[in-house]
Amino acid sequence: MIGVTVLGSTGSIGVSTLDVLARHPDRFRAVALTANTDAERMAEQCRAHRPLFAVMVDPTAAARLRVLLADMPGRPEVLEGVEGLEQVAAMPEADSVMAAIVGAAGLRPTLAAARVGKRVLLANKESLVVAGALLMQAVADSGAELLPIDSEHNAIFQCLPANFADGLERVGVERILLTASGGPFREWPLERLADVTPEQACAHPTWEMGRKISVDSATMMNKGLEVIEACWLFGTDTSHIQVVVHPQSMIHSLVQYADGSVLAELGNPDMRTPIAHAMAWPERFASGVEPLDLFAVARLDFQAPDFERFPCLALAFQAAEQGGTAPAVLNAANEVAVAAFLDRRVDFQGIAAVVGGTLEAMPNEAVAGRDVDFLLDVDQRARACAERFVRQRVS
């Protein structure tokens, strides 16, 4: 029986992970579940999956969960705080750890899992964006397995040869083609973008996602963060990565080879496919996803991204090329800017303005030899700087 810790079990990736787990009760068991504040949903998940531990980051939510589970026979032990997250990420009973906490908050538990050699199913792209060097070193030192869950990176992983770690050029790879839906505004007149509402930005045309990642898709910052993530995962740089807008979201990414071949991974837009692939790898098993009907799809369209329409994507490429702390600053500023947009404190175009201003204002520092505390300090300083830009736009 394979024990699985699900970091962020009440979010969309966590819920999909538990769905896949429940389809294979003879092979997998959820040994720990974690969430931030949603005690009611966590209580439901605990009763359905009976983990050994449940973690609520928020102490008040942890207290609420203890009350909700008071009458449950064999109830899980309830832990709280970041310390609780790190404990269940590294616990001996967990063979695999689904890292699905959104944002920089997922960094510490993801590192904790990597340092003790777990199979880390990485859905938290910010861990690599903020601390790519640190996480990849932890994986190398412990012998952990790092398997990508983002549909695009999982698709690339499936299209690469098993020895891609020897170097992409050595195994004949010329380019990674990272697909993007383009979000809900790819065909809007540019002058309309100033009037975008949070509700419109969260209405993704293809995927069902949380509010923050839906806004990131609408600005294409999500794709920019994925470019940085791909550089770390596949040992390359931005010169070997091209973003391709593909509105149908049926091709999840492609790999172009030196002999002219282009391999693509296709499937219905359902996160249970990459989750099941990573959980079973190198085997395959059922995910609950309907097979792709090519006759129903009928057509596949592609176009180049418009950097004027999507300045956040350009900023992400800039941060990736600068290296150092620039990606961490980019991520922190974006989290602040998106939160301000969702709270209606800045307009849609203000997101890129806040991120760009923060990148210019913050010094780009080297990260070699630094630890997680240094990176989290950079994260906090960047958030404070971004908040100042938000207040300037409000005033």
Task: For residue 118, say whether it is annotated as part of any ligand binding site.
Answer: no
Asked whether residue 199 is marked as a ligand-binding residue, the answer is no
Mark whether 22 and 160 lie in a shared domain: no
Please check the confidence at residue 208 and state whether its pLDDT lies above 80.
no
DSSP assignment string, 365-383: ---TT--HHHHHHHHHHHH
Is residue 136 over pLDDT 90?
Answer: yes
pLDDT at position 206 is 64
226 is in an annotated binding site: yes
Tell me: do 345 and 288 sit in the same domain: no
- The CATH number of the domain holding residue 355 is 1.10.1740.10
- Please indicate if the annotation marks 124 as binding a ligand: yes
Query: What pTM was computed for the model?
Result: 0.92
In angstroms, the CA 86 to CA 116 distance is 11
pLDDT at 239: 95
**Domain-embedded: residue 177:** yes
Higher pLDDT, 76 or 394: 76
Q: Are 234 and 221 in contact (CB under 8 A)?
A: no
Could you check whether the bond before residue 282 is cis, i.e. omega within 30 degrees of 0? yes
* Mean pLDDT estimate for the chain: 94
Is 212 annotated as belonging to a binding site? Answer: no
Q: Same domain for 183 and 47?
A: no
> Does one domain contain both 57 and 120?
yes
Judge whether 230 lies within some domain: yes
**222: annotated binding-site residue?**
yes
395 is in an annotated binding site: no
Confidence band of 86 (pLDDT split at 50, 70, 90):
very high
pLDDT of 211 reads: 85
Is 273 a known ligand-binding residue? no
High-pLDDT (> 70) share of the chain, %:
98
Res 143: pLDDT: 97
On whether the CB atoms of residues 342 and 73 are closer than 8 A, the answer is no
**C-alpha to C-alpha distance for 186 and 200, rounded to whole angstroms:** 13
pLDDT of residue 103: 74
Query: What is the torsional sign of CA 307, 311, 313, 319?
Result: positive
350 is an annotated ligand-binding site residue: no
Copy the structure tokens of residue 248. 């149908």
Is 181 marked as a binding-site residue? yes
pLDDT at 65 over 90: yes
- Residue 333 placed within a domain: yes
Regarding whether 50 and 35 lie in a shared domain, the answer is yes
Q: Is residue 309 part of a domain?
A: no
* Angle, helix 348-361 to helix 326-342, in steps of 10 degrees: 150
Interval 29-50 mean pLDDT? 97
307 assigned to some structural domain: no
What's residue 368's pLDDT? 86
Strand segments, DSSP code E, in the chain are 2-7, 28-35, 53-56, 77-80, 96-99, 119-122, 145-148, 173-180, 241-245, 251-257, 262-266
CA terminus-to-terminus distance, the chain: 57
pLDDT at 48: 97
**Are 81 and 197 found together in one domain?**
no
Q: Is residue 308 part of a domain?
A: no
Amino acid identity for residue 195 in this structure:
D
State the DSSP code for 36.
Answer: S
Segments forming the whole domain that contains residue 186: 155-297
Query: Does 205 fall in a domain?
Result: yes
Confidence of residue 187 (pLDDT cuts 50, 70, 90): confident
Q: Each residue of 314-367: pLDDT tens digit?
A: 999 999 999 999 999 999 999 999 999 999 999 999 999 999 999 999 999 999
Which region holds residue 189: left if phi is over 0, alpha if psi is between -120 and 50, else beta? Answer: beta
Contact between 9 and 34 under an 8 Å Cβ cutoff? The reply is yes
Decide if 89 contacts 113 (C-beta within 8 A). Answer: yes
| 205, pLDDT greater than 70 | no
Residues 62 and 96 in one domain: yes
CATH code: domain of residue 67: 3.40.50.720
Q: What is the pLDDT of residues 362-394, one digit of tens each?
A: 999 999 889 999 999 999 999 999 999 999 987
Whole-number pLDDT of residue 204: 67
Burial classification of residue 23, based on how many CB atoms lie within 10 Å of its CB (0-12 exposed, 13-18 middle, 19 or more buried): middle
Q: What are phi and psi of 5, to 5 degrees?
A: -95, 130
Binding site annotation covers 210?
Answer: yes
Q: Are strands 251-257 and 262-266 parallel, antiparallel or unpaired?
A: antiparallel
Count of domains forming the chain:
3
Q: Tens digits of per-residue pLDDT, 255-292?
A: 999 999 999 999 999 999 999 999 999 999 999 999 99
Same domain, yes or no: 287 and 204: yes
Give the per-residue pLDDT at 156. Answer: 98
Distance of alpha carbon 61 from alpha carbon 38, whole angstroms: 7
74 assigned binding-site residue = no
